[in-house]
């Protein structure tokens, strides 16, 4: 099973700042099969990025994904008030699919 | 509107059973593999089980294998999760979620573009 480790656990930033979230895999993730989700309190997760770099429908271009092999990054280029939430990475290149433990982006 | 709606959660004693349902609408339900994903209180996401669009293939996390059974009735656009021998550690919000890509099935090869709002399962005496 591929273990995904997200860091930092919490990121304290101000609106307008750039957020860089890391997701490290215990083994190489094949075929760039890496997704990112956003979850707000009391809500279901929302798909942001799939295929490592492709934005899901309706996701603004301030969200971008990058990386390869075992190291992946979600970047939010300028935080909007609605971006403060918890973010999860997920790999789907190997069974079972697995999620990272999450990074909370909070207002500084 | 494309939507998934779960139901069937509640309080159950350890060792008991519960059946969750998830109704899809606004899309061709039978074309998509669908999963159950759970989230324990204050914790992260854990994949539980998956079923192909045709209902011929299933897959389970080791933590639930032999206790949970996933099924679907495409004539009613509904996904089910039969949960037996429940344990305290099964306490969580259970979400149903559909894969973004139609007609695809490969164990583990799933990511989710549509989620329900979740249903809470509490296992406690």
In chain B, which residues have their Cβ closer than 8 Å to the Cβ of A96?
47, 59, 61-62, 107-108
On whether any CB of chain B is under 8 Å from the CB of A32, the answer is no
Q: Is B26 left (phi over 0), alpha (psi -120 to 50) or beta?
A: left
Residue B45 contacts A where some CB pair is shorter than 8 Å? yes
Residue of chain A minimizing CA distance to B93: A44
Shortest distance, CA B94 to any CA of chain A (angstroms): 10
pLDDT in tens, A78-105: 999 999 999 999 999 999 999 999 999 9
Output the average pLDDT for chain B.
Answer: 97
Q: Does A99 touch chain B (CB under 8 A)?
A: yes
Phi, psi of B56 (to 5 degrees): -90, -15
Average pLDDT rounded to a whole number, residues B104-113: 94
The pLDDT value given to residue A31 = 79
Instruction: Output the CA torsion sign for B82, B20, B63, A73.
Output: positive
Q: pLDDT value at position A30?
A: 84
In contact, B121 and B20? CB cutoff 8 Å: yes
Q: Which residues of B touch A94 (CB under 8 A)?
A: 108
* pLDDT (0 to 100) of residue A58: 97
| E strand or H helix that includes residue B2 | none
Query: CA–CA separation, B87 vs B65, rounded Å?
Result: 13
- Which pLDDT belongs to residue A93? 92
Give me the mean pLDDT over the B67-94 stretch: 98
Best B27, B47, B111, B120 member to test A by mutation, with max A CBs in 10 Å, is: B111
Q: Determine, for residues A92 and B117 on separate chains, whether the beta-carbon distance falls below 8 Å.
A: no
pLDDT digits (tens, 9 = 90+) for A31-80: 789 999 999 999 999 999 999 999 999 999 999 999 999 999 999 999 99
Averaged pLDDT, A12-27: 97
The secondary structure of residue A43, as a DSSP letter, is: S
Q: Residue B82's pLDDT is what?
A: 98
Q: Please write the tens of the pLDDT for every residue from B9-29.
A: 999 999 999 999 999 999 999
Confidence of residue B115 (pLDDT cuts 50, 70, 90): very high
Give chain A positions within 8 Å (CB) of B105.
none
Q: What is the pLDDT of residue B5?
A: 98
In chain A, residues with a C-beta closer than 8 Å to the C-beta of B59 are 95-96
């Amino acid at each position: 099973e591929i273990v995904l480790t997200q860091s930092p656990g919490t990121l304290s930033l101000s609106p307008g700042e750039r957020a860089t979230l890391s997701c490290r895999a215990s083994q190489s993730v094949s075929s760039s099969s890496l997704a990112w989700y956003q979850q707000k309190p009391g809500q279901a997760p929302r798909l942001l990025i799939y295929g490592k770099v492709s934005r899901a429908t309706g996701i603004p271009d301030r969200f971008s994904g990058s990386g390869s092999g075992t190291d992946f990054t979600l970047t939010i280029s300028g935080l909007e008030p609605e971006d403060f939430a918890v973010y999860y990475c997920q790999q789907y290149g190997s069974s079972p699919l697995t999620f990272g433990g999450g990074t909370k982006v909070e207002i500084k | 509107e494309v939507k998934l709606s779960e139901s069937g959660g509640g309080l159950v004693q350890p060792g008991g059973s519960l059946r969750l349902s998830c109704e899809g609408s606004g899309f061709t339900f039978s074309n998509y593999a669908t999963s159950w994903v759970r989230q324990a209180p204050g914790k992260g996401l854990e994949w539980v089980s998956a079923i192909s669009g045709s209902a011929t293939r299933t897959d389970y996390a080791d933590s639930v294998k032999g206790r949970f059974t996933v099924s679907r009735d495409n004539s009613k656009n509904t996904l089910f999760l039969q949960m037996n021998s429940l344990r305290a550690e099964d306490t969580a919000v259970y979400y149903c979620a559909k894969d973004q890509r139609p007609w695809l099935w490969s164990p583990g090869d799933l990511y989710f573009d549509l989620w329900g709002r979740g249903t809470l399962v509490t296992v406690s005496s």
